[in-house]
Amino acid sequence: MKFLKKKTYMSVGEVADFLGLDPALVSRMIENGELVAEKVGTGYKVEQSVGEAYKTFAEKSSFEANSDCGGCGWRYSSKESFRGRCTKCGAPLCFDCWIRLGKRICSDCEK
Ligand SMILES: [Zn+2]
Ligand SMILES: [Zn+2]
């Protein structure tokens, strides 16, 4: 893609618009290291390609509400609670398991 040669950046607000998320959530994702961003002054800027990659990822891995987390077994009523999938079986993994504990496979596959 020729027009992407030069790095283009989006502000947190633009990324939020682009991903259909709340700006506060986008900031949190950046602070959690889930979304790669560069610090500018008191805010952040996100490379456009990073935002696009995240969108593709988010679309591919859209989660069902009222699912059990494959890591901790907890049932979540909101699909926003999930952040990833088991790399072996595709079971959803919650925010806590994925981000805090760094799990990439569910507890069944871990056995
Ligand atoms: Zn979990
Ligand atoms: Zn699994």
The DSSP-derived string for 5-40 is: SS--EEEHHHHHHHHT--HHHHHHHHHTTSS--EEE
pLDDT computed for residue 97 by the predictor: 94
**pLDDT value at position 55?**
81
Ligand closest to 95 (CA) is: 1
Q: Is residue 3 part of a domain?
A: no
Task: Please return the burial class of 86, using the count of CB atoms within 10 Å of its CB with bins 0-12, 13-18 and 19+.
Answer: buried
Ligand 1 centre distance from Cα of residue 96 (Å): 6
Looking at the predicted structure, is the pLDDT value of residue 4 above 60? no
Which ligand ends up closest to the CA of 105?
2
Nearest ligand, measured from the Cα of 71: 1
> Strand 67-68 to strand 75-76: parallel, antiparallel, or no bridges (unpaired)?
antiparallel
Assign residue 29 the CATH number of its domain: 1.10.1660.10
Ligand nearest to the CA of 97: 1
Same domain, 72 and 55: no
Distance from the alpha carbon of residue 69 to the mean position of ligand 2, in angstroms: 10
Distance 21 CA to ligand 1 centre (A): 22
Both tokens of 12, joined, read 């947190």
**26-29-34-35 Cα dihedral, nearest 10 degrees:** 30
pLDDT at 5 over 70: no
- Total domains in the chain come to 2
> Do the domain assignments include residue 2?
no
Does the predicted TM-score (pTM) go above 0.85?
A: no
Q: Are residues 12 and 56 in the same domain?
A: yes
- Which ligand is located closest to the Cα atom of residue 103? 1
Look up the domain containing 16 and give its range.
8-60
State in Å: Cα 95 to ligand 1 middle: 7
